[in-house]
Amino acid sequence: MARNDERRRRIADAAIDVLARDGARGLTHRAVDQAAGVPQGTTSNYFRSRDALIAGLVDRIGERLAPTEADLAARAGEAPSRALFAAYVRDIVRRLTAAPEVTLALFELRLEGTRRPEIAAVLHAWQRAAFDADVAFNTAAGLPGGSREIALFHYAIEGLVFDRLTSPIDPGTPTDEIIDALVAGLLPG
């Protein structure tokens, strides 16, 4: 069967919705077929096993969370500074919260990875590549902070996004204000 990339993305997007809504136990080929509005068996034609479906989800989540060329170009001419770094962090948080189902699906996979080593392995490889790319980007852009600071920002951003997408500790404090405080605290002076 010839592969249709658009249909594959549509199925992966439906799987993201199912995972975010129903959790890992609800993620079945049949549930994805129904959510995607495709004939029964279509998902298994594109993703033969549950492991293949999960690997496809990780790839699709990465695509959907990646910055666009326009996002990057908007700040490309700015001088490196803490303010520019904060702008990049705000953009990351915006991307993680703009389509909550994508980030919730990622959190679901991370939780499932604590029970299933094969999922943890797929996620670890993806996370490590993304982290290395973040460090390389930061270095190439001349932004403050090295791999230690980038790791700390990953921890902080993931906690902030988890808080904002679930039950916020302080929903009255604007997210941008929290980001500015994080940048000031993690990149002093």
Q: For residue range 91-101, what is the model confidence (pLDDT) as tens digits?
A: 999 999 999 99
For 122-140, what is each residue's pLDDT tens digit?
999 999 999 999 999 999 8
Q: DSSP label at 1? A: -
Q: How confident is the model at residue 76 (pLDDT cuts 50, 70, 90)?
A: confident
Which of 36, 152, 46, 132 lies closest to 89 in space, CA to CA? 152
* Separation between Cα atoms, residue 13 and residue 16, nearest integer Å: 5
pLDDT band at residue 1 under the 50/70/90 scheme: very low
φ and ψ at residue 170, rounded to 5 degrees: -140, 80
Q: Report if pTM > 0.95.
A: no
Joined together, the tokens standing for residue 143 give: 């932004």
